[in-house]
Structure 1
């Protein structure tokens, strides 16, 4: 996983260096970033197949490349924060997870700009560049910092989303919209964010991060939305003290 992410990151960094020059282009940067995502997908696919040729690979939108191994699956999010990168905003990442038939057993989130590799194996704790991770110790919503994507969908109305924000603000909590749900998860595990709630995420966005938070001493609640073949995830994560308070707000 680590080698695959590092190899893919070289392509991201090279393309990210060209974004500023494309900002004034009539075509914009969206198609350029889309091509970057396609390249990353191929690099990760090639490297992971080389590493474990029998394993299945799950991409975004539940697209599954079936392997001969019925137990193990790679789960990849080649670029989370594509809108950020298309505007030259330095907040995006790569995510890879490994799961067996029951649960996610390992995961990484890699921020190539800061060269931060967040990594975890089931039962072994979470680390960033060999430093142990722990979630924050804050107990009150007041003065805590949370992130959200505030995504409107068929399963959450605009009114409901704004109501969630107001409940946090009413208790003097701070809210950030950073543009990469996956990297937000890593930041909760590192104690940089005290918690988060995100709506309508792919499994590829939550697989690695939910394990990294859990192994860093945090709590994660995931609810599935939508038809079974394309389940999306609503996710709440924080330390144990704030977790119960967030659940009561978003119940």
Structure 2
């Protein structure tokens, strides 16, 4: 795979942030951690990784805007381009020494995601995608979503915090309804990695709600470029802004959506 100049910039930033996270991951018991909300922690590791990414991307493209999980919005002068960044997707996994998390970066151009990177530094898996260029793993393997055609054969994933919010209660009802219809359900703790693994054919489909733009943007492009389909719960084309996602191949995505629609 030949990377574009912009994707090289993104990969370089993700790998540098990944090195910082790996160092902190090996010393996770010593991290100073503050509680940001139910089951949602922020640590110095997040902040260090985000600062690395911000510095690398701003140096390479000083006019682009930013939308970051920890740092919020930073205006740019370009008017067409914005970086969307989650420096550590899967923070709770990270803080429990579970090596399933990722650095996630997307580039938005004129309100469309055109390039993305998801990097798991512990597994050394680098997922990249560009509009029209496909989705790739470690620059060597072009990815395609799995080809299974029946929900009964499918392993699907979701995210359930079970913290008592209305959205969590809805997902538990969905879980109870969908569980008998599929081969298995997984909950990994990182939506970025979930979407990368869906693009790689490891999962067959996924659904989740209550998501932020930085949760969705990198993986959404990867799924689409790997031949997958994405919508919200209403069945309209997936957007990084509506907080909902139902994804899979051309057969399983509409089947999963059909199962979800009656559950309110």
Tell me whether the two structures share a fold, i.e. TM-score over 0.5.
yes
Aligned Cα root-mean-square deviation (Å): 2.2
| Deviation for aligned residue 1:232 | 5.2
Partner residue, 1:25: none
Instruction: Say whether 1:30 aligns with 2:44.
Output: no
**CA pair 54-148 structure 1, distance change in 2 beyond 3 A:** same
Counterpart for residue 156 of structure 1: 167
Task: Find the counterpart in structure 1 of residue 24 from structure 2.
Answer: 15
Q: 1:103 aligns with which of 76, 92, 112?
A: 112
User: TM (normalized to structure 1)?
Assistant: 0.89
**1:201–1:62 distance in 2 versus 1, CA, 3 Å:** farther
Report 1:187-226 matches (<5 A).
187-222=197-232
Distance in 1 of aligned mates of 2:142 and 2:124: 16
Q: How does 1:99-138 map to 2 (within 5 A)?
A: 99-130=108-139, 131-138=141-148
CA contact (8 A) 1:141 1:168 kept: no
- Which of structure 1's runs of 4+ aligned residues deviate more than 4 A? 151-155
1:199 and 1:106, CA in 2 relative to 1: closer, same or farther beyond 3 A?
same
The count of residues paired between Structure 1 and Structure 2 equals 239
Conserved? CA contact 1:29–1:87, under 8 Å: no
* Unpaired stretches in structure 2, ≥5 consecutive residues: 1-9, 35-40, 235-240
* Alignment of structure 1 residues 61-72 onto 2, 5 Å: 63-72=72-81
Any idea what the Cα deviations from partners look like across 1:230-249, whole Å, max 9, x if unmatched?
x5511111111101111101
CA contact (8 A) 1:75 1:96 kept: yes
Distance 2:151 2:246 in 1: 14
Distance 1:133 1:198, change over 3 A: same
Partner Cα distance (1:12, 1:62) in 2: 17
- Which whole-Å CA distance do the structure 1 matches of 2:226 and 2:168 have between them? 32
Equivalent residue for 2:192? Answer: 182
SS in 2 for 1:12: helix
Aligned-pair CA distance for 1:59? 1.1
Q: Could you say if the C-alpha distance between residues 205 and 62 of structure 1 is closer, same or farther in structure 2, counting changes exceeding 3 Å?
A: farther
